[in-house]
Structure 1
């Protein structure tokens, strides 16, 4: 049987070899686990988004400011910013320091800009949105305003204030209303894109915004505006005898 070497007899060269063994190379996700930023390499969400647990969940642009992923337009995985302004967030800098990678913004990955606008274009968040336009752009804000007006969680006054703050130019919205095709129940929230059709329609009483469990719908004046007759109310079926 071969004798086990006595560690007390190890030479200086043997000890030197042990101290110079290179540390294992970690993947970017393993490095994030090592740094305590994520708990598991499987933790990043859809699209490789990395959650900043110290940030509020809304807006999602800041809650998930960076992703480690390989998008369709890239040849290898990398760090991608959720919005251009996310580059200045301390959390993103921590991720960059841990992985040794630099997070970049790519114009083909714009979901974060939309999330920033639609998450904040409300009575509660519109001032924050107006003050953080580095995370989005005017077009997304206009679309978000149109949706939230019909959803009933953004008032006309706040919508106009937000649109003025981002430099939106007021149009007459005639073309949008000429092209509206409502659902059978009169729903219109997903019809045009933009804000001013929703502003003008609400001011003129052409639709009622969502309230409680009732979705937005055209008023009789709105049906007249688009030159159509509202569908007749369905008759209630008689109950079956017990």
Structure 2
């Protein structure tokens, strides 16, 4: 019954998260909400959110969190992530299938690993080096692709170390964890795509207004510069009113 109640609560959390993501306007805050929500509903100790870069050939680190050792990088933390992006292809052009996040993105599939140190077929040397530096023990991994409405991968959500909420013991991510993470990744990809489209429309509108302004200014030597001067004069007037006591 306890497990059923926990699953029901997590489904309710997932619904609330979906609503919160659709209302978030800031992309950095949106990315952070996605990762924190995924960690919460899967009881993960750590996680990383990657986004594909402009070329579509790399996964760029956006947010990193590991609660038990106090790591918070990217997002609103103010700490820049210094790790280089993960290449999706090797120098020779072959797909980079040895890195689990790259494998997930290239194959558009979820990867659930019980123990990174015993996993075959993936290169976890970077994970082992991180563990050696920090004293951490990275065990279970759940890596989920984030795909937009066109089926294109726009990011990867990776969760680390499923922690039993009662005993605190690190275990394996369950099938329900996987399904919840995949559902969240799908909602998050839609929310992120919508936010990017809105930002692009805003930029397009600004460019359109600037183009009209320039056309008006260049039409006549008598009105040249008018559209540039009016906003400046308006701001000067507003600042003067604000400074008046």
TM-score band, normalised by shorter chain: under 0.3
Query: Between Structure 1 and Structure 2, which shows a larger proportion of helix residues?
Result: 2
TM-score scaled to structure 1, two decimals?
Answer: 0.19
Query: Between Structure 1 and Structure 2, which shows a larger proportion of strand residues?
Result: 2
Larger Rg: 1
TM-score scaled to structure 2, two decimals?
Answer: 0.19
